[in-house]
């Protein structure tokens, strides 16, 4: 089940909220758990069993860590190691088994040997997210950064919490432990959540799904032209942003409707002035998870310059693999890793230049615009290989983007582009660069204009209704991050 379906909006969510607010607080975690299992099992009940099993051993091993962390630290370390191995083991098997077999078969074919005929593994949706949450729970209680769960129900409700179960944000138990044991339920918070949910729904259905047709058409071409290739790359850049921020908005909104406050997952990443800044703004829950549970334990920047660069590359490589079991994701991770290392190398020189400005240095505002444009170019180049199903598709796109596929649109693409999708693409691009400054703009408006601006927010209800109508008229469109 996904958020952008009528069965969720008009059946599952109302029934869940009715039961949730009808029950006393002490039973609400159990109701969350039951609803989350229904939500996940709606797709496949057998994979629900996998998540339940992962929760069981995480709970038992977490209890072992809590009992022995002070008295028998070796036992606590063994329990932590076993939990991490089990959790990452199921992720490795379900997500990377097919990738490993395909890579091995390619190598065997290259060497002239017979290929292996082995079963294929189906990837359970959301496994990357709930495995990371289960793993961070064990690490946090071992570090004494979080209390152990009061019960299996509480831990299972945290791991399977349906608003963020499928595509994040990646939540940490230490941020939610106190909220599970006591949280505020007010009409104002519920209203904020409903508004945030509608915003996310509109971002997904009205913008992301509308520009998806352009990206799909371009990436399906054997050799797009210059205009077509850039149009497709820009369309996917807008699609991915509004698709993922839409899901995050809906997840955060649903959390507010239940009294929870989840961390923000995006902070206007497309206005970043460097790739380093981009990763502080894009998928924040994943970036901070990789920093706290991988980069820092590897030594971070505390073991010399070369080790720092190695750690950055390793984290970005694993971050690419986390997104998908394909060499295209490895290349994407390496692309960002190399840029992050180069930016760190140039950082000292840039600081020196800022200390001693050159007489011909460009004005700060022009510098910012140039830096944003440069960063976006690097991001878009990376998104091409991220979106491409294979290297040949990515190379065809890159050839088109540098003009080797012709200058204009080709006929097979031109007839697939609708005026509505192109207009939506332009509107999405405008929103990306206007939205970060709307709050500042409203604060500067005269008091007399605050009420009309507030009334304009009522238009969200109309847009939400329009999104529902559009959803009914079109085919099913899952969130992009379901596959990651």
Distance of CA 458 to the CA centre of its chain: 28
Rounded CA-CA distance 235/481 in Å is: 16
Could you tell me the CA-to-CA distances from 90 to 124, 155, 193 in Å, in that order?
A: 10, 19, 34
Which member of 185, 323, 336, 450 is catalytic? Answer: 323
Contact 115, 121 (CB under 8 A): no
Distance of CA 463 to the CA centre of its chain: 24
Rounded CA-CA distance 112/141 in Å is: 51
In the residue annotation, 185 being an active-site residue is answered as no
Rounded CA-CA distance 314/334 in Å is: 9
Rounded CA-CA distance 49/55 in Å is: 10
Q: Length of the chain, please? A: 484
Q: 95: closest CA among 384, 299, 325, 293?
A: 325
* Secondary structure, 3-state, 143-166: CCCCCCCCCHHHHHHHHCCCCCCC
Q: For residue 220, is the peptide bond before it cis, meaning its omega torsion is within 30 degrees of 0? A: no
Contact 77, 69 (CB under 8 A): no
Q: Which residues carry out catalysis?
A: 323
């Amino acid at each position: 089940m996904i958020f952008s379906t009528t069965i969720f909006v008009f059946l599952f969510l109302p029934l869940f909220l009715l039961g949730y607010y009808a029950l006393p607080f002490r039973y609400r975690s159990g109701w969350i758990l039951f609803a989350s299992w229904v939500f996940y099992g709606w797709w496949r009940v057998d994979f629900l069993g996998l998540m339940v099993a992962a929760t069981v051993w995480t709970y038992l091993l977490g209890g072992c860590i809590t009992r022995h962390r002070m008295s028998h630290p070796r036992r606590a370390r063994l329990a932590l190691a076993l939990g991490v191995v089990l959790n990452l083991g199921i992720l490795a098997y379900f997500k990377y088994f097919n990738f490993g077999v395909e890579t091995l078969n390619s190598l065997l074919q290259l060497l002239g040997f017979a290929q292996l005929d082995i079963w294929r593994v189906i990837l359970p949706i959301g496994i990357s997210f709930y495995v990371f949450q289960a793993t961070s729970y064990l690490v946090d209680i071992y570090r004494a950064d979080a209390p152990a769960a009061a019960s299996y129900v509480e831990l299972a409700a945290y791991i399977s919490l349906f608003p963020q179960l499928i595509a994040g944000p990646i939540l940490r138990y230490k941020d939610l432990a106190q909220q599970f044991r006591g949280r505020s339920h007010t009409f104002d918070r519920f209203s904020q959540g409903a508004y945030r949910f509608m915003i996310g729904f509109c971002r997904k259905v009205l913008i992301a799904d509308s520009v998806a047709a352009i990206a799909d058409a371009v990436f399906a071409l054997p050799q797009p032209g210059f205009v077509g290739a850039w149009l497709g790359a820009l369309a996917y850049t807008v699609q991915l942003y509004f698709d993922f921020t839409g899901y995050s908005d809906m997840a955060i909104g649903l959390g507010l409707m239940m009294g929870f406050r989840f961390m923000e997952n995006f902070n206007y990443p497309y206005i970043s002035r460097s790739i380093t800044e981009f990763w502080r703004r894009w998928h924040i829950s994943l970036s901070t998870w990789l920093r706290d549970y991988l980069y820092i334990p590897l030594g971070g920047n505390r073991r010399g310059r070369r080790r720092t660069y190695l750690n950055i590359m390793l984290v970005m490589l694993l971050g690419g693999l986390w997104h998908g079991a394909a060499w295209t994701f490895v290349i994407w991770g390496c692309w960002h890793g190399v840029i992050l290392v180069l930016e760190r190398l140039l950082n000292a020189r840039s600081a020196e230049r800022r200390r001693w400005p050159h007489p011909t240095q460009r004005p700060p505002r022009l510098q910012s615009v140039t830096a944003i444009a440069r960063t976006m170019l690097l991001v878009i180049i990376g998104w091409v290989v991220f979106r491409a199903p294979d290297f040949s598709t990515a190379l065809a796109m890159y050839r088109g983007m540098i003009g080797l596929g012709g200058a204009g649109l080709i006929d097979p693409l031109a007839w697939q582009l609708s005026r509505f999708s192109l207009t939506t693409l332009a509107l999405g691009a405008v929103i990306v660069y206007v939205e970060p400054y709307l709050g500042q703009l409203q604060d500067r408006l005269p008091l007399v204009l605050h009420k009309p601006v507030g009334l304009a927010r009522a238009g969200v209800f109309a847009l939400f209704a329009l999104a529902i109508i559009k959803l009914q008229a079109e085919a099913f469109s899952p969130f992009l991050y379901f596959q990651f």
